[in-house]
Amino acid sequence: MATVSASPIVRSLTSSVIVRVLKLLPWVAVAALPLALPGYEPLATQVFVMILFALSLDLLVGYAGIVTLGHAGLFGMGAYTASILSVHGITDPIVTALCGMMLAAVTGLAFGVAMLRTKGLTLLMLTMASAFLLYEIANKATGLTGGEDGLQGVSFTPLLGLFAFDFRGRTAFFYSLAALFLVFTFVQVLINSPFGWSLRGIRENDARMAAIGCPIMRRRIIIYVIASALAGLAGALQAQTTQFVALHSLSFELSGNILIMLILGGSGRLYGAFVGVPSFMLAQDQLAKQDPANWFLGLGLILIAMVMLAPGGIIGIAERIVHAIKARRRP
């Protein structure tokens, strides 16, 4: 009897282990990329950093319904924090990354308390203004940030005291991949928690959520701070892996680009960032090769088509195809 009763439990545990292993397979495959495509590590590292950055934005846009055009300001805070600490003698990658996260989180808290009391167009303009403010501060503080020339002399000690940031980019590749994996795991747990579901409720109908006693303002500030910290981490990784930081990391252009990447992949779908970032970079590369002067026109047409025909992004298209296939198989 013990064997019979234990059999379903064993099968359930085995199934759970298999599912977890299957979920890890894509990460293992990506980690093996240097063996299959040597020389592409620096490009892959930039993709990982941008995916992490897009994930932080997805928490706001896709799950909390907070649309922002100033997210690059928080990315830049992390990048400048890590770089400035490096120039002044604090060169440990993990320490500077954590400091970048903390300062970006504090900045997000300060801006969030002021901005999240508003909605709609007012909120959108305030997020843009916050990024412009940080950009101009960095531009004027040339003695600290390097201004328009960027910050020179940025370097970091070997990761964990063992792995130097080599010219081939192997250390940066695995470092950024590990950070992305940890952040993705955290985000996955967060959005599937009661807190994450409350964010969806606030996004869909904040008045109803307030009526059932949900502390809307507190939840919005918390998720804004979390997203700010993750954006700061992405910025710190960018500075560490490139050993350079410039005003572009705070620019409106970067805020717009990362929002485009997220929309292209599909916001509010967890994997949208993983699809949208490489798709955007590939489209940018191909369009620039075809017409270097007017490649933005082609990108704009693609985005218009996506918004009009596939508002859920590439992930949304895939979901509809899967649903159509399942519907055909039903008797």
Grade residue 8 by pLDDT with cuts at 50, 70 and 90. Answer: low
pLDDT at 295: 74
Q: Compute the distance between CA of residue 283 and CA of residue 10 in angstroms, rounded to an integer.
A: 47
Backbone region of residue 65 per phi and psi (left: phi > 0; alpha: psi in -120 to 50; beta: other values): left
pLDDT surpassing 80 at residue 299: no
pLDDT at 35: 64
Grade residue 22 by pLDDT with cuts at 50, 70 and 90. Answer: low
Q: Token pair 């252009």 is at which residue?
A: 253
Is-contact 233 275, C-beta < 8 A?
A: no
Q: Compute the distance between CA of residue 49 and CA of residue 154 in angstroms, rounded to an integer.
A: 18
Q: Compute the distance between CA of residue 317 and CA of residue 263 in angstroms, rounded to an integer.
A: 12
Tokens of 22: 């299957």
Which residues are paired to 245 by β-bridges? 151
Which residues are paired to 159 by β-bridges? 163
Q: Compute the distance between CA of residue 239 and CA of residue 246 in angstroms, rounded to an integer.
A: 9
For 47, phi and psi rounded to 5 degrees? -65, -45
pLDDT surpassing 80 at residue 278: yes
- CA 99, 104, 107, 108 torsion-angle sign: negative
| Range with the poorest average pLDDT among 112-116, 131-135, 195-199, 321-325 | 321-325
66-105: pLDDT as tens digits:
989 999 999 999 999 999 999 988 889 999 999 999 999 9
126-176: pLDDT as tens digits:
999 999 999 999 998 888 888 888 888 888 888 888 887 776 778 888 899
208-264: pLDDT as tens digits:
888 888 899 999 999 999 999 999 999 999 999 888 898 889 988 899 889 988 988
